[in-house]
Homo-oligomer: A and B are copies of this chain.
Amino acid sequence: MRDYVEIGVGREARRTYSLSDISIVPSRRTRSSSDVDTTWHIDAYTFGIPVMSHPTDALASPDFVIEMDKQGGLGVINAEGLWGRQADLDAAVARVVEAVTSDDNIDGASAQAIALLQELHAAPIDEDLLADRIAEVRASGATVAVRVSPQRARELAPMVIKAGAEILVIQGTMISAEHVATGGEPLNLKEFIGSLEVPVIAGGVADYTTAMHLMRTGAAGIIVGGGTNTNEFALGIEVPMATAIADVSAARREYLDETGGRYVHIIADGEIETSGDVAKAIACGADAVMLGTTLAPAAEAAGKGSFWPAVAGHPRFPRGLVEAPQDFFFEGVEAPSLEKILHGPSTEAFGNQNIVGGLRRAMAKCGYTDLKSFQKVGLAVKR
């Protein structure tokens, strides 16, 4: 069934596909985009749009998380980022932005900015500070999701939940249901998740088997993707998102059958920049997407247009671009609001704004009115 090639004598490799390799094929009666329903239900929560934000301090200021909620999505706070480490959060983020914008490295990857991120992340987590900030967002009425790493989940999760986190995101670049380590106590996710009172979204994963194991831990949602697009260079590991989403969707079907009806949500986190990418991710089987760079230009984003993934601050082996702002801020052009990026109207032709409007139009032109059925739309690969 799978499509394998022999790359050398006796050595096979599976053929995989990225979102940019595929496109959506309309073949039914067209519909009105105003008839499209983009509601996303996960556990007891309902969101108007199937959009989470990547857990990075480049996005998540308190204002940003609150505004995400207002716009129908879910903003995610990184418990191991700067919120709990830097008393003056704005100033800390501003220093990173300053570092990246003053670096003329043509590759776009700022060693200075990464070094500064590492320095800022070397500060210990002040749990009270972090709890206060989470509670502040919670107090606004916004749904609060907080991300912890598998390594520190046991330590930090109780605190962030107590502070107000309604959804726990356990996210590393690549995780498994049972991490093996010599000495030390590994995190058994099944036991851990079973002990929590809030729904857990866990990942990232990239393959059927790991996803199946992760589903069996009781997670409400699975993140598909590697968290950064430099993993290929750094680790030789790449997650071609079209294949990964489709594989994990197959695991979801299998697990649904195995459990007699437990539906685990799939959140795609990778290769998604435009409204067309969002549509493709859902067409491959995702229930929702996690957006990063797409949301960075928003006026409410902490980084003022700069972006870096959570793993860019890793102390010894950072990954991911630290990107300078697009020209919005250089050119005196006003930054678009998060509302404009998500819901338009747009003056931009490449699907970087009015993301949800683009998704609605894609679904409508293909004749679908809800996200779940759109997962079955026809696909094409180029050549």
Contact = CB atoms under 8 A, between A and B. Distances in A.
A32 B181 contact: yes
Contacts of A8: 17, 242-247, 249-250, 284-285
Interface string A115-154: 1001000000000000000000000000000000000000
Nearest to A184: B32
Contacts of A358: 234-235, 317
A13 B381 contact: yes
Contact of A274 (B1, B34, B181, B234): B234
Interface in A243-294: 243-247, 249-251, 253, 274-280, 283-285
A184 B34 CA distance: 12
A21 B383 contact: yes
A209 to B, nearest CB: 5
Interface residues of A, number: 118
Interface of A: 1-3, 5-18, 21-32, 34-35, 105, 107, 109, 111, 114-115, 118, 173-182, 184, 206-210, 228, 230-238, 240, 242-247, 249-251, 253, 274-280, 283-285, 312, 315-322, 327, 344-352, 354, 357-358, 361-362, 365-367, 378-383
Given A316-B357, A365-B174, A283 B236 contact: yes
